[in-house]
Amino acid sequence: MANEVFPIKSKRDYNKFIKALKPGRDRDLGQLGTAFGLRISDLLKFKIGELRGHKSITIWEKKRKKKRVITFSPSVLKIVSQLEGDDDDYVFASRQGGGKPITRVQAYRILNDAAKRAGIYEKIGGIGTHSLRKTFGYRLYENGVDITRIMSILNHSSERETLRYIGITADEISEAYESIEV
């Protein structure tokens, strides 16, 4: 069984993590991975021309075989407008050449190394490529997006599964109830 990975819940930790990623491809991986909420296999296959100059993208998710339309936020539009390379180049191109994207393993290394440099690796309790997708879901939840919408976006079968997936604990739910004053 693979090691469990977690979302980066603290905005401060997330910002430290992003700053620890090398500018360019690696930082784009962290930011676009979080902004799109895709599985790494879907994220790594993007070519520059599919993103640059567009306001959204339609993809077919590999695992669930479902169509997904992702509309770019202003910050994503800025990132994709600054992508360097030809339209046929991969956004996350391997530095080994051959016109291929980085592998899942390389993406994992990039993210882990950045988490360690940022000093958040131990605090998070495990980070990997799926941490970006979980962080995406957590940010939606934190921003007040209804859990059923998040469940639909992530293609989960229950609200409980989604809450567990994005790292919402029973203590956090209790704190929410305790915060209500009537």
Between the alpha carbon of residue 39 and those of residues 11, 16, 96, 129, the distances in Å are 21, 22, 23, 8
**Residue 1 above 70 pLDDT?**
no
**Residue 82 above 80 pLDDT?**
yes
**Residue 21 above 60 pLDDT?**
yes
Between the alpha carbon of residue 33 and those of residues 25, 40, 172, the distances in Å are 11, 8, 25
Active site residue 130: yes
Domains of the chain by start residue, with CATH: 11-178 (1.10.443.10)
Label residue 126 by pLDDT band (50, 70, 90): confident
Report the pLDDT value the prediction gives residue 176, as an integer from 0 to 100: 79
User: Which tens digit of pLDDT belongs to each residue from 171-182?
Assistant: 777 887 888 888
**Residue 92 above 60 pLDDT?**
yes
Q: Which residue has the higher pLDDT, 67 or 104?
A: 104
Model pTM above 0.85: yes
| CA–CA–CA angle 108, 111, 115 (5° rounding) | 135
| Pairwise CA distance, residues 108 & 129, whole Å | 5
Q: What percent of the chain has pLDDT over 70?
A: 98
Report the pLDDT value the prediction gives residue 2, as an integer from 0 to 100: 53
Active site residue 54: no
Active site residue 133: yes
Across residues 51-69, what is the average pLDDT? 87
Label residue 60 by pLDDT band (50, 70, 90): confident
Per the residue annotation, which of 39, 47, 134, 139 is the catalytic one?
Answer: 39
Across residues 20-38, what is the average pLDDT? 97
Pair of tokens at residue 84: 């360097």
Per the residue annotation, which of 63, 64, 66, 149 is the catalytic one?
Answer: 63
**Contact predicate 90/100, CB 8 Å:** yes
| Pairwise CA distance, residues 45 & 173, whole Å | 37
Block residue for tokens 């994220």: 43
What DSSP designation does 103 have?
A: P
Across residues 2-7, what is the average pLDDT? 80
Block residue for tokens 């360097």: 84
**Residue 105 above 50 pLDDT?**
yes
Per the residue annotation, which of 133, 134, 138, 139 is the catalytic one?
Answer: 133
Active site residue 109: no
| Pairwise CA distance, residues 15 & 28, whole Å | 13
**Residue 121 above 60 pLDDT?**
yes
Report the pLDDT value the prediction gives residue 97, as an integer from 0 to 100: 79
Cα 82 from chain centroid? 19
For the chain, the average pLDDT equals 92
Pair of tokens at residue 3: 């090691």
